[in-house]
Amino acid sequence: MTVIHPLLARLGLRYPIIQAPMAGVSTPALAAAVSNAGGLGSLGLGASTVEQARQSIVATRAETDAPFNVNLFCHQPPLRNAQREADWLAHLSPLFTEMGAEPPAQLDTLYPSFLQDDAMLEMLLAERPAVVSFHFGIPDGDRLSALRQAGIHTLATATSVEEAEQIEAAGVGGIVAQGIEAGGHRGIFDPEGPDKALPTVDLVRILVSRTSLPVIAAGGIMDGHDIRTMLAHGAAAAQLGTAFILCPESAANAGYRARLQSEYAGETRMTAVLSGRPARGIANRFMTHCDSDPAVVPPAYPIAYDAAKRLHALATRRDNHEFAAHWAGTGAPRARKMTAAQLMAALIEELGLA
C-alpha cells in the first residue's frame, strides 16, 4: 500500500511525483503537463536571465492553475584563474581545430549565482511561484526568510547527511536526496570536496532517519515501481528527470533524443569536464578527450561550460553531437517515448494509485 506523505497536501499535489527541473530541457509545457496531471512540474531557471525566468513562469501559469516549482543555482561565484583557463583552452584546441575554428581568447562566467542575484529574488517575490528549489547549495537566511514570508515553499538538494543538516538548520522545507545515479549536475555543495557517492536508496534511508524534514528521492528513478520502492524506504515523493526527456514537451533536440534511444544510453559517466562541476551524462568524445590528460583540470563552474557550449555549437552545425551535454541518469536505457500526460498516467498506474 502506498502511503501518502503530508508533504503532498502542503504542496498541493495529488501524487508523489516531481518532474526534475532540468535547465535547458524543462519547459513551461512540460511543467504544466506534469502539474495538471497531479504531480509537481518544474522549471530549471538557473541558467536563465531574470526576464527569461519571468517569462517561463508566466507561460507556465498560462497552461496550468496547479502548483509548480522553479529551481535556481546556488553555486559559489567562481574564482578566475587565468593560467588554468588558458591551459584548458589549449587542451581543447585540437577539437576546435577539427571544427574549423580557433579556441576563444577567453571564457565568460555565463550566469550569476542566486546567492548574489537580487533581481532574481525580487522577481520571485513578485511572481510568487508555489515552490522554489535550490541546487549546489542554499541561499542566506534573509533570502529564505523573504521567500517564506511570500508564502513560497522551499526545497534544496543534498548529496550527503552533512548537506541535509545544513538545509534543515537553514529552515528549508524539504530535502531532495540526490543519489549518485542521478543525471545532470551533482548538487554537491563543494565540488572540490569529498563525495561519498551514495546510491539513492541508501541516501534516502539515512536522511529519513537523521532529519525531520520530508525527503524526496532523486536518481535512477524511471517508473512507478522505482517510485514505490523509494516511498517504502520513507521518501515523501520521487523526483524524475531522465524519464521525462523523451516527452515531446521537453526542449531536448533531435540529437539528444536519438542518443537517449540508442545503445549509447547504456553508458553514462560522472565528469566535471563539460561544465566545471561533476555531472552525469551519456559518454561521448568530448569526455574521452578531456579525460585523456587528468593533469589538465577544467576551470571552475560555470566558466568551463562556456568552452563546451562554444564547441558544441560549432559541432552542431556539422550535425556532430559528440560534444553535447546529454545529461542522463543510470536509468537512461529505460526512458520511454510518450507525452508527459501519458507518462504521468503510466507512473500513477504503476504506483497503484490509478
HEC assignment per residue over 147-174: HHHCCCEEEEEECCHHHHHHHHHHCCCC
CA 202 to chain centre: 20
| Distance from C-alpha of 77 to C-alpha of 112, rounded to nearest angstrom | 7
Q: Is 38 found in the same domain as 129? A: yes
| Distance from C-alpha of 282 to C-alpha of 246, rounded to nearest angstrom | 14
Q: What is the CATH number of the domain that holds 206?
A: 3.20.20.70
Full residue range of the structural domain in which residue 21 is found: 1-77+112-254+335-354
What backbone torsions phi and psi does residue 238 show, to the nearest 5 degrees?
A: -125, 145
| Distance from C-alpha of 187 to C-alpha of 74, rounded to nearest angstrom | 10
For the whole model, what pTM was predicted? 0.96
What backbone torsions phi and psi does residue 351 show, to the nearest 5 degrees?
A: -75, -15
Is 182:241 a contact under the CB 8 Å cutoff?
yes
Q: Is 50 found in the same domain as 141? A: yes
List the beta bridge partners of residue 268. Answer: 282
CB count within 10 Å of CB 14 equals 14
So what's the pLDDT on residue 2?
59
Q: Is 118 found in the same domain as 103? A: no
So what's the pLDDT on residue 326?
97
CA 176 to chain centre: 11
Tell me how many helices (H) and strands (E) the chain has: 13, 11
Among residues 53, 50, 62, 49, the alpha carbon closest in space to that of 21 is found at: 53
Q: Is 194 found in the same domain as 68? A: yes
List the beta bridge partners of residue 158. Answer: 177
So what's the pLDDT on residue 277?
96
So what's the pLDDT on residue 97?
95
Q: Is 301 found in the same domain as 211? A: no
Cell of 111: 550566469
Is 131:19 a contact under the CB 8 Å cutoff?
no
Q: Is 206 found in the same domain as 133? A: yes
Is 330:220 a contact under the CB 8 Å cutoff?
yes
Q: Is 145 found in the same domain as 68? A: yes
Q: What is the pLDDT along the chain (354 residues), one digit of tens a residue?
A: 456 789 999 999 999 999 999 999 999 999 999 999 999 999 999 999 999 999 999 999 999 999 999 999 999 999 999 999 999 999 999 999 999 999 999 999 888 999 999 999 999 999 999 999 999 999 999 999 999 999 999 999 999 999 999 999 999 999 999 999 999 999 999 999 999 999 999 999 999 999 999 999 999 999 999 999 999 999 999 999 999 999 999 999 999 999 999 999 999 999 999 999 999 999 999 999 998 888 899 999 999 999 999 999 999 999 999 999 999 999 999 999 999 999 999 999 999 997
So what's the pLDDT on residue 291?
87
So what's the pLDDT on residue 3?
60
So what's the pLDDT on residue 294?
86
Q: Is 40 found in the same domain as 5? A: yes
So what's the pLDDT on residue 4?
77
So what's the pLDDT on residue 293?
86
| Distance from C-alpha of 228 to C-alpha of 231, rounded to nearest angstrom | 5
Q: Is 127 found in the same domain as 102? A: no
Q: Is 155 found in the same domain as 135? A: yes
Q: Is 296 found in the same domain as 243? A: no
| Distance from C-alpha of 166 to C-alpha of 99, rounded to nearest angstrom | 45
What backbone torsions phi and psi does residue 332 show, to the nearest 5 degrees?
A: -50, -40
Q: Is 277 found in the same domain as 297? A: yes
So what's the pLDDT on residue 185?
98
How many structural domains are present in the chain?
Answer: 2
| Distance from C-alpha of 83 to C-alpha of 106, rounded to nearest angstrom | 11
